Chain A
Amino acid sequence: MSIEIKNINKTYESHGKKTTVLKDINLDVNDGELVCLLGPSGCGKTTLLRLIAGLENADSGEIYDDGKLVQGPSRDRGFIFQQYSLFPWLTVLDNVMFGLNLSDNSKEENLKAAKRYLERVGLGDVADSYPHELSGGMKQRVAIIRSLLNHTPVLLMDEPFSALDIQNRHKLQEQLIGVWKRFENTIVFVTHDVDEAVYLADKVVVMEKNPGRIKEIVDITLPRIRNRESVEFIKVQNEVKELLDVWD
């Protein structure tokens, strides 16, 4: 599904002081596209993602998901949080089935689908474990499966791998590309890591702060699966880095 962001403005007020978090944001995300929002902290990238999800309201402007005005959170736009967001009182299996069980599907079918998914990503063994028994990387994989299993056409991801070590981060990035190709979701991925953005994105939206706005949109046409060591990859990475370096 495509997402249209039109003239979004957002300010926060704290201690009587107004801060413009997002100013005149216009952005189109095409159906099936993987877009990264990249920028320093304070550029409003997470706020923009939360606005797309419907978890927050803009001061002005509209966001359309497949032509429909976004007015609140919906199962059509899954969200992967930076913090761990599994329900601690449910097993991995019950966590993964949470969205499915809200709809009218038969419980038996849900169970089958959930088990199949977990096994496919190598989490079959921990189906009956509780979240506190999992590693950070496993928790985020379970969270991603929880959204995918819900047949969400749009996946919004807020620095989901930032707490992981570099090996795990690379592994999950690779898995994400596999999942994205199979399910053909539209993904908007927030990150402050140039390497991550260039590795994942069709389109990198470079943002700047004070006020938060879009500086430039870089199309990345490198073939997948991308090779971090290739000359082309490093060249694109340097281009994007230069755009960011302007503020430093």
Chain B
Amino acid sequence: MNSRRLLPLILPIAIIIVWHLITDVFQLVTPYVLPSPTDVLMAASELIGSGRLLSDSIDTLFKVFGGMFFASIVAIPLGIILGWSKTLEDMASFVISILRPIPPVAWIPFSILWFGIGTVPAIFIIFMGCVFPILVYTIDGVKRTDKVLIEAAQTLGAGDFDVLSKIILPSSVPYIVSGLKVGVGIALMCTISAEMIGSSSGLGYLILTATNLFDTGTTVVGMLTIGIIGLILDYIFGKAQDRIFW
């Protein structure tokens, strides 16, 4: 085995050893401030054994993909139109520039007023988090479409709609996938705030309730699970990017 492939493992192992020394071995900090690896392992085995970690993960993933699904439905067609028409982009860019920096958490009051509590407002918060990166990447992809390909299609008899659907859309796919990759990261970051609104399940809810009970071991398990899910999704989108050869 190539020893370079072990390189990423050195740092996590070192962290765990130091962490183990200052908590379990020398007990320099109380478990409330920082749980020990043993606390975390115990919490993890309990959460896995009861099936709660799996069900909360699935629940959070459902919200993440729900939010991303609606964000894609809105952002991809809109991005293609705005990237295609300079006039429409000029009209919309001011509004987009103002809405984009607003943190998704800031939409919590309105998400409650509009969608009540539970899963739907959570999906809305995630939607607000990932709609803008997908939109911006799509617009960028459309603008980077090689002009020669558009002109080639036109001289082969393609009309405006053909050019949009058969040239500009496929040519933008690499950028759209990049947007989705950025979007899924932001969606996961939104899960805690999204699940603050009356959710009764999900990894964000797990973290919040555990923290309220000073069960910091469970908190760390929830955090690590979100991290690991992010790692896996990032890997999947990376693989998808590798398969796009244009």
**Contact partner, A146, options B154, B156, B158, B170, Cβ 8 Å:** B156
- A139 nearest CB across to chain B (Å): 12
8 A Cβ contacts from A9-59 to B: 53, 55
Interface of B is mostly: helix
Interface size on B, residues (CB 8 A): 18
Which listed segment binds B: A81-89, A216-224, A226-234?
Answer: A81-89
Flag if A79 contacts B151 (CB, 8 Å).
yes
B102 CB contacts on chain A under 8 angstroms: none
Q: Mark A78-107, 1 if CB is under 8 A from B, else 0.
A: 110101110111000000001100110000
Does A132 lie at the interface of the complex (its beta carbon under 8 Å from any beta carbon of B)?
Answer: yes
A74 touches B152 (CB 8 A): no
Q: Is the CB of B245 within 8 A of A132?
A: yes
B157 and A55 form a contact (CB under 8 A): no
Mark interface residues in B151-189 (1 if CB within 8 Å of A CB, else 0).
Answer: 111111110001000110011010000000000000000
CB distance from A116 to the nearest CB of B (A): 19
Total A-B residue contacts, Cβ distance less than 8 Å = 60
B155: chain A residues at CB < 8 Å are 53, 55, 73-75, 77-79, 147, 156
Complex interface: chain A residues within 8 A of B166 (CB): 98
Q: When chains A and B are docked, how far (Å) is the Cα of A9 from the Cα of B217? A: 78
* Bound Cα distance from A81 to B166, whole angstroms: 19
Residue A150 at the chain B interface, CB threshold 8 Å:
yes
| Bound form: Cα–Cα A78–B155 in Å | 5
Q: Which residue of B lies closest to A81 (CB)?
A: B148
Q: A75-B157, A102-B157 are in contact. Are A89 and B246 (CB under 8 A)?
A: yes
In the assembled complex, B149 has its CB within 8 A of some CB on chain A = yes
Asked whether B170 lies within 8 Å of A150 as measured between CB atoms, the reply is no
Q: Across the interface, do B151 and A73 meet the contact criterion of CB distance under 8 Å?
A: yes
Bound Cα distance A81, B170 (Å): 21
Residues of A within 8 A of B149 (CB): 85, 87
* 10 pairs of A and B residues whose beta carbons are closest in the complex: A75-B157, A88-B246, A99-B156, A73-B154, A79-B155, A85-B152, A89-B170, A85-B148, A73-B155, A102-B157
Residues of A that sit less than 8 Å from B by CB: 53, 55, 72-75, 77-79, 81, 83-85, 87-89, 98-99, 102-103, 130, 132, 143, 146-147, 150, 156
Residues of B whose CB lies within 8 Å of any CB of A are: 148-149, 151-158, 162, 166-167, 170-171, 173, 245-246
